[in-house]
Amino acid sequence: MTSDTTVRFLHTSDWQLGMRRWFLHTHDNADAQARFDAARLAAVRALGQLAIAQDCSFIVVAGDVFEHNSLERHTIGRALEVLKHLPVPVFLLPGNHDPLTADSIFYRTQDINNVTVLTNTEPVAVDTPAGVVEIVGAPWLTKHATRDLVSDAIAPLKPTDRVRIVVGHGQVENRSGEFAPELIDLSALERAVADRTIDYVALGDTHSAMALDSAGTVWFSGTPETTDFHERGLRGQDSRGENNSGVALTVAVTKQPHSPEPSRVEVHEHPVGTWTFDAVEWDVNDASDVEGFLAFLSAYSNKAETVVKYALQGSVDMSTMQQLDAGLADLAPVFGALYERQRLMDLSLAPSDEDLAQCELGGYAGHALVELSELAAQPPGTSRTSERDTAHDALRLLFRLAQQR
């Protein structure tokens, strides 16, 4: 190479084909899981289209291509069909979900011409219009790693004028506080970039796209289709959890030969996925709060591919609770899934005097109504939480029957 070399490729990870989600198997949305499966495959096809549109020479998939190694035959067959038809070469890295064990699905890709599985740490030379590029993988060979696989992969490498891409899977920070020998040494990667041993590190495992170093040479690509919840907090105003998924990265690496300077790297995010998983909280104390919450849900433009789990806090009378129940009943069949986050639900039913008078119940029934009202007003998290929930259901039934008389 005698002039600057710019290599373009696509970085993705965590496809987790075959992923199952329990909330996609509800009575209201019996077909949601099948549609979610199809969307994950469609996202992979979209990666191929994106690679062509962005003039990428190849795709690297940084681990967890499959949810696990024991998928149903039709899931594996459909995944292999999609891989066969990707329009550029694809390099797959086994991750912790799909390690290269004896039962690995990756062995079934051997007859696919455009697919290469990174089975070891030996650099793979790839011919591109810009020259030869080296791809160095750090595959998971077991379900649990006992050392820093990425550092092991780059340890024998020397500085080079070739563009060299490292593909790994794992975390760079210890979030549990426990000893974690598999953590990736980010500082070692930064040093290797600085001395031109490597030029870009394509990581997977975290499902939200993000740069991990100040130079923008070490990235999590995020998953191309949503896998977990974006924690949007109170009234949808927060942003935690899986907050930048459904994307892929196009990477351009420009390397000047015979220069002491590290490569110039440009990374761009591109939307790919179509599903949304949101977790929201809402204060509900009167009819206007209910209207606001229902309007928030109604504003989702692609409800069939949207999952919302919600936690409501507050205290409402019976008419307000009925307004809420009716609105949610209308919306639930339209969403991919719409359900209570029971662990965080803190909505009490407190019938007003007007509610109680409308029931016109006397004697034993009237006494039971008062007891149910008291139980329904119990705060959550107490020993009587299950009784409170039962009282809510019983009061709803009593008021519905009273209205039908």
**Tens of pLDDT along 182-236?**
999 999 999 999 999 999 999 999 999 999 999 999 999 999 999 999 999 888 7
Query: Is the domain of 312 the same as that of 202?
Result: no
Query: Is the domain of 342 the same as that of 356?
Result: no
Query: Is the domain of 66 the same as that of 120?
Result: yes
Residue 75 lies in a domain: yes
Query: Is the domain of 23 the same as that of 148?
Result: yes
Contact criterion met (CB below 8 Å) for 11 and 19 = no
Which pairs with CB-CB distance under 8 Å and at least 24 residues apart come from 46-51?
46/224, 46/272, 47/10, 47/12, 47/86, 47/224, 47/248, 47/272, 48/85, 48/86, 48/87, 48/88, 49/87, 50/10, 50/248, 50/250, 50/270, 50/272, 51/9, 51/10, 51/86, 51/87, 51/88
**Tens of pLDDT along 258-272?**
999 999 999 999 999
Domain boundary among 325, 349, 373: 349
Per the listing, tokens 């993705």 go with 12
Query: Is the domain of 315 the same as that of 259?
Result: no
Average pLDDT over residues 287-299: 97
Report residue 384's pLDDT band, with 50, 70 and 90 as the boundaries: low
Query: Is the domain of 371 the same as that of 309?
Result: no
Average pLDDT over residues 283-304: 97
Look at the chain and report how many structural domains it folds into. 3
Residue 198 lies in a domain: yes
Closest CA to 196 of 107, 140, 259, 152: 259
Percent of the chain with pLDDT over 70: 86
CA angle 280, 172, 169 (to 5 degrees): 90
Residue 373 lies in a domain: yes
Domain boundary among 314, 330, 349: 349
The tokens of 340 are what? 């209570």
Query: Is the domain of 60 the same as that of 156?
Result: yes
Question: Which pLDDT score, from 0 to 100, does residue 297 have?
Answer: 98
Contact criterion met (CB below 8 Å) for 164 and 154 = no
Query: Is the domain of 39 the same as that of 137?
Result: yes
Percent of the chain with pLDDT over 90: 75
Q: List, in sequence order, every beta strand (DSSP E) within 180-336.
A: 200-204, 210-211, 218-220, 230-234, 240-241, 247-255, 264-271, 276-283, 306-316
Residue 235 lies in a domain: no
Residue 234 lies in a domain: no
Residue 232 lies in a domain: no
Question: Which pLDDT score, from 0 to 100, does residue 206 have?
Answer: 97
Residue 213 lies in a domain: yes
Residue 301 lies in a domain: yes
Average pLDDT over residues 23-39: 90
Question: Which pLDDT score, from 0 to 100, does residue 286 have?
Answer: 95
Report residue 1's pLDDT band, with 50, 70 and 90 as the boundaries: very low
Query: Is the domain of 345 the same as that of 356?
Result: no
Question: Which pLDDT score, from 0 to 100, does residue 36 have?
Answer: 97
Lowest mean pLDDT among 236-245, 269-278, 326-335, 357-366: 357-366
Query: Is the domain of 28 the same as that of 128?
Result: yes
Domain extent, residue 298, equals 275-349
Question: Which pLDDT score, from 0 to 100, does residue 358 have?
Answer: 62
**Tens of pLDDT along 148-175?**
999 999 999 999 999 999 999 999 987 7
